[in-house]
A = this chain, B = another copy of it.
Amino acid sequence: MAEKEKVTIYDISKKLNISAATVSRALNNNPKISLKTRKLVMKTAAKMNYKQNKLAQALKSGKTHNVGVIVPYINRNFFSSVIRGIEEELSPHGYHVIICQSHEDVNNEINQINTLLNTQVDGIFMSVAKTTQKTDHIEKVLSENTPLVFFDRKKDVAGLSSVTIDDFRGGYLATEHLIKQGCKKIAHFSGDLNLEIYKNRYEGYIAAMKDYGIEAIKEFSLQVNSKLESGASAVRDLWNHRIKPDAIFSASDYAALGAIQELKKMGVKIPDEVCVVGFSNEPFTKYMELPITSVDQTPVDMGRNAAKVFLEQIQGSKTLTIEKKVVLAPELYIRDSSNRETIEKPLVSKE
């Protein structure tokens, strides 16, 4: 239980009878210090078990080597995967990742940003809350010269970079796939259209319908929460009408699953009568007995890319703000919930 005696450069300097400045330079491999002393200092430092005090260094340099990540909830598969990507890309560069949750509330978001700025993070990554409308708090980050990189859910703020997937394309791919399965009356469960991502998925859906000359019935587009029950109730609503959909493209896997469960309860055959496609490629989609087709957002990759953008950003001249928009390609994982061609074949769920 040796009491911890923090060793500082002063301790080293005293022991060697040289100045702390020399020690500091030697440890930083400053060529102005003779090789002899440099080696001596290094050796002594190691022997004394010297550990640099990052705090002092951070105070002096203004760089903490900490970055903050703000997400709605950390235990959502998508977000924790992005964070994983960020951590894995940044960790080798000596950065630590601080996580914050907004709980989908702008006010929390504002607070988190403030405390992060207070602790002098070198950068911030974030996916905005659903309730975020104004961007004052975000612009504030910019004005403090702290790089901010959006991922997935972004806001249009001049000078800020972002990494997203091509949600439009994701929506398009999903819809096109359904069309190719022979579906004509395709319903769409959209999310909160206040968020760009959902708007884009919706527009991708509309575009695909148009491109293939299929009418997108207005009543078939519903705003549905990302919950099983919401999906189920949406199905109930839809099936109350005279014209019933023969496919559902849900912008949420959860709503898609709820829909599937409800349809089964109603005795509707999937994918024979109705094809269903979700979005996000949540882990459960591939585990189901009837695996669910879904659009993958490559979250880990998204995190890695966001980290890369950040690294570029801090490398460049600090006066010049670069605005970089990285758009990743979504991938459609076709599974049984929409794959009519597997009906006669043995069931094989992809991935």
| Interface residues in A283-300 (C-beta closer than 8 Å to B) | 283-284, 287-290, 299-300
Interface residues of A (CB under 8 A from B): 1-2, 4, 51-56, 58-59, 64-66, 68, 73-77, 80-81, 83-84, 87-88, 91, 94, 96-101, 115-120, 143-145, 228, 257, 264, 283-284, 287-290, 299-300
Q: Are B59's CB and A55's CB within 8 A?
A: yes
Q: Are A288's CB and B287's CB within 8 A?
A: yes
| Closest beta carbon of chain B to A306's beta carbon, Å | 15
Take A96-B98, A101-B87, A287-B257 as given contacts and tell me if A118 and B74 are in contact as well, using a CB distance cutoff of 8 Å. Answer: no
Q: Are B145's CB and A52's CB within 8 A?
A: no
Given A65-B119, A66-B98, A75-B80: 18 more A-B contacts, CB < 8 Å: A53-B120, A54-B120, A55-B64, A55-B119, A66-B119, A68-B96, A73-B84, A74-B84, A75-B77, A75-B84, A75-B300, A88-B101, A94-B115, A97-B98, A98-B98, A99-B99, A287-B287, A289-B290
Q: Closest B-chain residue to A228, C-beta based?
A: B287
A-B contacts, 19 of them at CB < 8 A, read A51-B117, A52-B118, A54-B119, A66-B66, A66-B98, A68-B96, A73-B84, A74-B87, A75-B300, A77-B77, A84-B101, A87-B100, A91-B100, A96-B119, A98-B99, A228-B287, A257-B287, A264-B289, A288-B288
The answer for the CA separation of A101 and B300 in the assembled complex, in Å, is: 14
Write out the residue numbers on chain B whose beta carbons fall within 8 Å of the beta carbon of A68. 96
Write out the residue numbers on chain B whose beta carbons fall within 8 Å of the beta carbon of A97. 98-99
Q: Closest B-chain residue to A98, C-beta based?
A: B96
Q: Which of B2, B144, B284 contacts A287 (CB 8 A)?
A: B284
